[in-house]
Amino acid sequence: MIYRIIIEKGEDFGFVVHCPAIPGCHSQGGSIEEAVENIKDAIRGCLSVMDSEENPPRYVGAMEIAV
């Protein structure tokens, strides 16, 4: 499955990364590459907990529209 992530510059160090589709799923890293690898691990962990709780993520998909 593909998840959209948001990467932000950390206040004191490195980068902070969030997965909006999974509430509470955040990570960080000293570089963007490290932060991305760390959020992959965090997403896997969150999904395994959600699966065990029978509480799937709310994310359905993303699309772009013209207005």
pLDDT in tens, 8-63: 999 999 999 999 989 899 999 999 999 999 999 999 999 888 766 566 656 667 66
**Order of strands, sheet of 6-9, starting from the edge strand that comes earlier in the sequence:** 6-9, 15-18, 26-29
Structural contact between residues 4 and 25, judged by C-beta atoms closer than 8 angstroms: no
Q: What is the pLDDT of residue 31?
A: 96
Q: What is the pLDDT of residue 1?
A: 82
Q: In this structure, how many other beta carbons lie within 10 angstroms of the beta carbon of residue 15?
A: 20
Q: Give the whole-angstrom CA distance, residue 21 versus residue 3.
A: 7
Structural contact between residues 25 and 39, judged by C-beta atoms closer than 8 angstroms: yes
Beta strands in the chain (DSSP E): 6-9, 15-18, 26-29
Q: What is the pLDDT of residue 48?
A: 87
Domain boundaries, the chain: 6-52
Asked if pLDDT for residue 65 goes beyond 70, the answer is no
Predicted TM-score (pTM) of the model is 0.74
Q: What is the pLDDT of residue 53?
A: 58
